[in-house]
Amino acid sequence: MTRGYALDPQARELLERAARSSVPALHKLAPEEARRLYREISKSLQPPPPEVSEVVHTGFDGPGGKVLAWLYRPAGTRAGESLPVCLFFHGGGWTFGDLDTHDVACRTLANFGRFGVASIDYRMGPEHKFPAAVDDAYAALRWVLAQGTALGLDPRCVAVAGDSAGGNLAAAVALLARDAAIELAMQALIYPALDLRASTPSHFEFAQGYLLERDAILWTLGNYLEDGADVHDPRASPLLAADQRGLAPAYIVTAGFDPLLDEGAAYADKLSSAGVPVTYECFEGMVHGFITMGGVLAAAGHALYRVGHGLSQAFQIQTRMSA
């Protein structure tokens, strides 16, 4: 027992399997090898990909070159139908993860919410340091706003979402959008990294034994950040932004046995105090990364359904307001 709740039995079994495994820790590998291994592990934990009506492999010219994107149209939608769109930024500590590792999650979100999903393959560390990933993520928003109609998307109904490092990028884009007077329907942040000082109590309480370990966090931060001063930049640590007023409504999901638990909860409180509408849900028995583990954790599907439904409601509100 920790913090008054218990590990989900499926999560406990997963942790026991991980403890018995001979698979090396990702942070002990070279980045390219870590990416390969993460891709293999992700595939082994996912359910079969659900059918969607279409996946378009495309891209746009970003500030550092071509940025790849996969556009998902949910099952049951008509060709040419203009859809609201959620920009999705994958997790992986700004070091690993890609369009393929989060393909199932994006398909599932699209189908649950009946909206388009644009999954973005932003630049990562250590080859590309902060703020390269943020720059690509914000460029993706600008791309959808400019080209959405031609892509069969509704540029009046745009949201941002992501898990872990991707949740960090989604929150950073929401800040940049607010400052540029771009109105987003929602920011959906799934166990997001929001304070890169990595010093909240949950970082130490769950430092070992819960899949995401402190040594790995420090390794990914070293890959991503140019120097220690970067942690104070709100684009790196959105929780440290001076003002949250006027930000997009938020849907924040945390996991109860996750080093990032406290910063997600703190951001929900901070947004709410600034007058931002917030839905906050803690999946108390879960561990970090669970939404991409739907083959072994039933809670993955539950969380994606909840987030998809929340995004769908936000798009309906946005549509009424823009009519």
Q: What whole-number percentage of the chain has pLDDT above 90?
A: 94
Q: Provide, rounded to the nearest whole percent, the portion of the chain with pLDDT above 70.
A: 99
pLDDT over threshold 60, residue 1: no
Of 26-35, 46-55, 313-322, the poorest mean pLDDT is in 313-322
Q: Is 232 a catalytic residue?
A: no
Q: Are 270 and 239 in contact (CB under 8 A)?
A: yes
Residues 267, 323: Cα–Cα separation, whole Å: 31
Per the annotation, the verdict on 102 as an active-site residue is no
The DSSP bridge pattern shows strands 54-62 and 187-190 to be: unpaired
- Which of the following is catalytic: 42, 258, 262, 312? 258
Q: Is 302 a catalytic residue?
A: no
Q: Which of 164, 202, 237, 312 is catalytic?
A: 164
Q: Is the pLDDT of residue 2 over 70?
A: no
pLDDT tens across 133-178, in order? 999 999 999 999 999 999 999 999 999 999 999 999 999 999 999 9
Rg (the chain; Cα; Å): 18
Residue with tokens 């970003």: 62
> What pLDDT, in 10s, does the model give residues 282-291?
999 999 999 9
pLDDT tier at 319 (50, 70, 90 boundaries)?
A: confident
What would the mean pLDDT of 197-209 be, rounded to a whole number?
A: 97
pLDDT digits (tens, 9 = 90+) for 296-310: 999 999 999 999 999
Instruction: Name the token pair of 181.
Output: 């007077």
Q: Is the pLDDT of residue 179 over 80?
A: yes
Give me the helices (H) in the chain, please. 9-20, 31-45, 103-113, 132-147, 165-179, 201-205, 214-224, 261-273, 298-322
pLDDT band at 105 (very low <50, low <70, confident <90, very high): very high
Is domain 9-322 classified as CATH 3.40.225.10? no
